[in-house]
Amino acid sequence: MKDKGNQEYVKRFNRINVLNLIRKNQTISRQELAQQTGLTPAGISGIVRELVETGYVRELGQGPSNGGRRPIALAFNPENGYILGAEITRQTSTLGIVDLQLKPIAIRRTSIEMGEPEKGLSLLVAAMEALVAETGIPSGKILGSGFAIPGLLDRHSQILKRSPNLGECWREVPLAEWLEVLVGRPFTLENNSNAAALAEYTLGAGQGIKDLAYVNLGEGFSTGVILNGEILYGSRGYAGEMGHTVVVENGPLCNCGNRGCLESLYAVPALEHRANLELGLYGPDDSLKSVWLEKGRVDIEDILVSVSEQGPYAKELIRQAGWSIGMGIAGIINFYNPEIIVLGGILASAGKALLEPLAQSVRTHAFPEVVQSTRIERSSVGRDAAFYGACLGVVRRLFTPEYADNIFAKERG
Ligand SMILES: [Zn+2]
C-alpha cells in the first residue's frame, strides 16, 4: 500500500511540476519540458495530454525550429479557473474575481459593517457569491477563495487572535472553522500586510527581488516582510507589527493597550484627531483651516488635499508623520536588510510631503551602509494590493502536489 501511495504522490508531483513549468513560461515545448524535468519524452507526452484534456494547457501551433522538426508551443490557459478574493476592513471590503494569472475580471468595494465577526463574515461571503453569480462564471470554475484580514492571525490554528482595526469583538475568532462552513471550497487566509507584500513581490515594485518589506500606512502601520522569497511569519504568525513600536514613553493610549506606539501618534485616526483639535488654535490663513471652519471637522482626505495645495498646517503634520515613520522603517532596515521598502496605504499618497522627511529620517536613523543598499518606493500595485495578495495565496497553494486534486477534479459545473 505504501508503494502505491508513493507512486500516486510521484505522479501528482510530476503532473503539477510540468504544469508549473508551463505556467511560468510564456510558451514551452515538450522537448524543453523533458530537458527541464528529466522525465522521458513519453512521460511528458502523457502528462501534457492530460493537461490539454483538463483545459489547463493549450497547444499554440509550431514554434521555431532549431534544426529538426518544429516543436509545438504549449501555453498555460489562465481562464481555465478563477479565484475569488476579499480584503476585509472594518467598513468597506474589496471583493473580486481574477483569473489564474491574476488578471482582474471584476473588482468592487462593498460597504459591509464588520464590527460583529460572525454576522460580518456571513454578509461578506454572501456578497462574494453574489459577485460570482453576476459575472456568470460557473461556481465550479472558482477554484478557491482568498481572504486578507488585518490583525493577529495565528498561522497554525488559523484563529484570529485580535484585530483592533476590525473592532473590539474580534478576539479569538475561529476564522477557519467559520469559513469552512460558509465558503464551501478551498480557501486561504492571510494577514493583510503579508498579502500586500506578496502582491508587490509577485506583481509590483518587488518583482525579481527576494527580500522586501511592505509597510501599510493607513488605519495602522503594519508590515509584511518577505525574506528570500517567503513571507516572514514569526513563531505564531504575528510578525510585522511595526506600528506598535513605542516612540513616546507614556504617550497616547494605543488600541493595542500600550501607550505611545508609533501608530497611536501618526496613523490615520491619530492624524485626524490631532488636526481637529489643533486647527481651532491655528491661524486662519490655511486651506485646511478653511475646510475645518466650513465642515466642522476634517478627515484624512481633506488633509491630503491640503497637502497637495501646499497648505502649511497639513504639510507640517505630514512632515512630522514622515519623520517618525522613518524611525520605524529604519528599524526594519537594520533588522532585515531588505532591498526595497514598499510604502502602501492612504498616507503613502501624500507623495513627496511624506516621502522626503521619511527618507531623510531613515538615512539619519539606520546604519549607514545598510540603508545605502535599500530603496524606498511607493506601492505599484496600489490600493488593491492586499486583495491581489489574498488571491495569490490561493494560487500559490493550488499549484502544489498537496492541492493538485482540487485543480484536476473533474465534473465541474
Ligand atoms: Zn500599540
pLDDT at site 52: 95
- Single-letter amino acid, residue 137: I
Q: 260: CA distance to ligand 1 center in Å?
A: 7
Q: 262: CA distance to ligand 1 center in Å?
A: 7
Taking every pair of Cα atoms in the chain, the longest distance, rounded to a whole number of angstroms, is 82
Q: 263: CA distance to ligand 1 center in Å?
A: 7
pLDDT at site 61: 76
Segments in 116-231 forming alpha helices (H): 117-135, 175-183, 192-203
pTM to 2 decimal places: 0.92
Question: DSSP code of 245?
Answer: -
Q: 230: CA distance to ligand 1 center in Å?
A: 26
Segments in 184-299 forming alpha helices (H): 192-203, 262-266, 268-278, 287-295
Low-confidence ranges of the chain (pLDDT < 70): 1-2, 63-68, 284, 406, 409-413
Q: 241: CA distance to ligand 1 center in Å?
A: 9
Q: 221: CA distance to ligand 1 center in Å?
A: 10
What pLDDT, in 10s, does the model give residues 8-67? 888 889 999 999 999 999 999 999 999 999 999 999 999 999 999 999 999 997 766 666
CA distances from 314 to 296, 305, 355 (A): 16, 9, 14
Q: 149: CA distance to ligand 1 center in Å?
A: 18
Q: 264: CA distance to ligand 1 center in Å?
A: 6
Q: 340: CA distance to ligand 1 center in Å?
A: 25
- Rounded to an integer, what distance in angstroms lies between the CA atom of residue 205 and that of residue 344? 11
Q: 150: CA distance to ligand 1 center in Å?
A: 14
Name residue 98's beta-bridge partners: 83, 104
Q: 376: CA distance to ligand 1 center in Å?
A: 24
What pLDDT, in 10s, does the model give residues 208-267? 999 999 999 999 999 999 999 999 999 999 999 999 999 999 999 999 999 999 999 999
Q: 257: CA distance to ligand 1 center in Å?
A: 6
Q: 303: CA distance to ligand 1 center in Å?
A: 23
Q: 254: CA distance to ligand 1 center in Å?
A: 5
Q: 337: CA distance to ligand 1 center in Å?
A: 24
Q: 68: CA distance to ligand 1 center in Å?
A: 66
- Rounded to an integer, what distance in angstroms lies between the CA atom of residue 386 and that of residue 189? 11
C-alpha cell at 57: 494547457
189 CB burial (10 A radius; 0-12, 13-18, 19+): buried
Delineate the domains of the chain, giving CATH numbers in brackets: 2-76 (1.10.10.10), 80-198+386-408 (3.30.420.40), 207-380 (3.30.420.40)
Q: 248: CA distance to ligand 1 center in Å?
A: 11
Q: 255: CA distance to ligand 1 center in Å?
A: 6
Q: 163: CA distance to ligand 1 center in Å?
A: 12
- Rounded to an integer, what distance in angstroms lies between the CA atom of residue 279 and that of residue 313? 8
Q: 249: CA distance to ligand 1 center in Å?
A: 12
Q: 52: CA distance to ligand 1 center in Å?
A: 52
pLDDT at site 2: 55
* Alpha carbons within 13 A on the beta-carbon side of 64: 1
pLDDT at site 10: 87
Q: 173: CA distance to ligand 1 center in Å?
A: 20
Q: 253: CA distance to ligand 1 center in Å?
A: 8
- Rounded to an integer, what distance in angstroms lies between the CA atom of residue 130 and that of residue 153? 27
260's enclosing H/E stretch is: none
pLDDT at site 12: 86
- Rounded to an integer, what distance in angstroms lies between the CA atom of residue 306 and that of residue 18? 54
pLDDT at site 63: 64
